Amino acid sequence: MAHTLKTNLLIALAIGFLISTAFMSIPSMRDGTSDWSGVEFPGMAAAYLFWGALSDSVFWGTVIGWAVNAVVYSLPAFVVFSVFTAMRSLQLR
């Protein structure tokens, strides 16, 4: 069971990183004028929170925003994969 949880987590993180990369690569979303600008909020909030600790580095702020968004967007995928794995294991018994 631990092996499947680890696999589910890795797949979910990969999905989260792809979604985060897509959101962070669209420049019109970063200027705040787009209706979709709220999808970057979890990562941007973390970047602003830690910005002062990282000496106002734009690079590190972007990295933190990207990573936090990836984790946030991977959680629903992880839950879905875990539910399907649990249902499949119950059917096999």
Which has the higher per-residue pLDDT, 70 or 50?
70
- The full DSSP string for 12-38 is HHHHHHHHHHHHHH-GGGTTS-STTGG
Residue 19: per-residue pLDDT: 85
Quote the mean pLDDT of the chain.
77
Helical pair 58-92 and 2-25, crossing angle rounded to 10 deg? 140
Residue 63: per-residue pLDDT: 81
Q: What are the tens digits of pLDDT across the range 18-47? A: 988 887 776 654 555 555 556 667 777 777
Residue 91: per-residue pLDDT: 83
Angle at 90 between CA 84 and CA 93, to 5 degrees: 145
C-beta of residue 68 within 8 angstroms of C-beta of residue 43: yes
